[in-house]
Every structure is written in structure tokens, then in C-alpha cells.
Amino acid sequence: MGHVPPQRRPAGTIRTAEFDHAPLALPEYASDTSLDSLRSLRGNTPRAYPPHLALRSDETMEAAGPSSQPGPSALEGRRDDPSEQGCLPTRPALDRPLTSEGLPNQESPFTPRMVFDSLSHVFVRPLIGRVRRSVRDYGQVTFKFSQTKGGFHRQIMKHRDTSGGTCAALAAHWIRARAQNGDLFERLYTDRQKRQLRIDELHSIKQLTINGRDDDGDEQNIRNLGWLSKHSMKWNLKASQSMIARQPTELIGAILDTGAKARCYKLVPIEGPLFAHTFAAEVTRDGGIVFFDPNFGEFDFSDRNAFAEWFEKAFWIRSGYHWGTFGLSQRYIVFDLYDGTTPSGNPT
């Protein structure tokens, strides 16, 4: 799930308490400029990000070379092959090798760390129905998905580096699919009833999470943004703030703001004192918004004002994200992403 203890953050999360640690090795697909800019976000002081420091992927990221760490690069090449696209398991199980430092994919779920992760998922499950029911008066539920239950949950619980949740990798894959006029869930499942998982997409999501298992927050974000850049997505930093009052008003504004773009995708890491999470959205300037939270599913709002009201009055409360110690109301970052295959980033 998205809620994980500080030592088990999934890729794409940030850890305010660790922002003063020595910097880690820079991923190959990020430049010093982009990493230094992200590190300027460290600390708890609320700040507006100055326009002259805004991050832009087309200025700061170089084309990725062969990664020095195990990653999905080889997998991505195989997924482009039509013969690999239809590669389906005979059952919802990951039968492709997936290891981390020599550890097998299957791991005992009774280790203390994985027991804690399991309890964290159980904690979220009662909130799923509350969140989905709240959408009725504002929009519609387009796909019922949660990483905390079902076949997908059973798969991430097979590895200690994914048992804490794969929210950031899921959000990145969701954005990639939407930008390619696709559907994450059609790539992840063989049908809309979620009866069978497709190996390739499951493997890619888990591997992206595993790759960032030891990263600090800023490197995790850069790793996910770098993966999206490999798929022709450009990005910039939209906003970074502390939500001391636990009110999501400014966060909502940053999500809905598309700037000069007709369509914009949002990658949003949020955190609290103990836990962290990432969700995503697709926003059109003159239209609505499609919102994806890996804990609760995909929701469609034809009216931007309806989304804003739902997010503040229903979602933020019913999800438990507004809570203090156990919530996610301490800090957020909003990254704008757009299709880099067109000069303006506007839909073709």
C-alpha cells in the first residue's frame, strides 16, 4: 500500500526527517542540476518554489544510458515486441525471475517487516469503500483498484522490497499508459474483472519499485521521472509545500493548474510524520480530470470544480490522509508531466 514506515518507503516518496543525510549516488539519467534543485526542497519550512528554479526535464535530463542498477530497461524492449505483448500467465503469479541482491521473489510473509506491511494494508482496506462511495455525488468510479487487496496485493507481498507498496511505480505506469492513449488496467489485467494478471506490466511495476528501495526521497522521485522520460514524457516541478494546517486547498490548485498546456499529467508524492504515498492525475485545461490513487482506484470528474470540492470535503477526510501522526498531511510535491513527442506538450 502507499502507507509504509519510514524505513520502507516505496519509490517516489520523500522523507523529510532524512533530508540532511549525505547525498546518494546520482542515477545515470539525471543531471547534477536536477538533483541539486530537488535537494533545495529539504527541510520543513513552507516555501513557494521560485519560477527561476523550476525544474524542466528537457533542460536537466540527458538520454539514459545503460543503467548500472537492475531495472526494467530490458523488459521495456521486450514489451515493444508484439509477441511479448500477449505473454500471459496461466494463473495470476509472477513466474519470471525477479530478484534483489540475489533474494528470490518468494519470501516468507512472516518476517517482522512484512508483517508490519501487511498490517498497514489491513488498516487502509476499511477506507476503500468510504472513498469510492464519496465519488457518487461528484463524478464516477472508472476502475476499482487497490494495491492493498486482491491478486495484485498478493504479488507485491512476495518480495520484501515491494511489500510496503508500489504506489509511486503504479502512478508512473498509469501516467505512461494515459499519455500513450492506453489504459494501465488493460495492460495489467487480461480483462476488466481482474481475474488474471499480465506478467510484463506486473514485472515492470515491481522492478521499478525494487530499483528505488534504498534511495532517499529526491533520488526516488528522479528515478521515477527518469523512467517516464524514457517514455517520451517531459516534466517540471509545479509546487512543493508543507501543509501545516492540514488543508489541501493549495495542493488542489497545483493539481488543477495546467499552465499553458491543454493537457497535463500530475505525479504527486505526499507524506506525513510516519508514512508516504503517491497518486496521479490527468488534467485538461477546459475539461475535467481523471484521478488515480493506487489505494482506492481510478475516478473521472467531468467538472473541475466538482473534483476540487470532492477532494477537499470528501476524499481528503475519508481517505484518512488528513490525520496527524498517521496521516499524509505534512508535505506534498506536485510534478507536471506532458507528452514530449509534441513540441507544445498539447494533445495531438
Choose, from 277, 322, 336, 339, the residue flagged as catalytic: 277
Dist. CA 131–CA 293, nearest whole Å: 10
Give which of 266, 234, 276 is closest to 6, Cα–Cα.
276
Q: Is 167 a catalytic residue?
A: yes
Choose, from 117, 218, 293, 336, the residue flagged as catalytic: 293
H helix or E strand, kind and range, residue 168: helix 167-179
Dist. CA 198–CA 188, nearest whole Å: 5
Q: Is 293 a catalytic residue?
A: yes
Give which of 168, 175, 177, 157 is closest to 205, Cα–Cα.
168
Q: Tell me the three cell numbers of residue 54.
A: 523550476
Give which of 263, 247, 227 is closest to 313, Cα–Cα.
247
Q: Tell me the three cell numbers of residue 284.
A: 485538461
Q: Tell me the three cell numbers of residue 67.
A: 543503467
Dist. CA 16–CA 33, nearest whole Å: 21
Q: Tell me the three cell numbers of residue 9.
A: 518507503
Q: What angle in degrees, to the nearest 10, is found between the helix axes of 217-230 and 32-39?
A: 140
Q: Is 257 a catalytic residue?
A: no
- Give the burial string for 90-122 (b: 16+ CB within 10 Å, else e): eebbbeeebebeeeebebeeeeeebeebbebbe
Choose, from 117, 121, 167, 215, the residue flagged as catalytic: 167
For the annotated catalytic residues, the residue numbers are 167, 277, 293
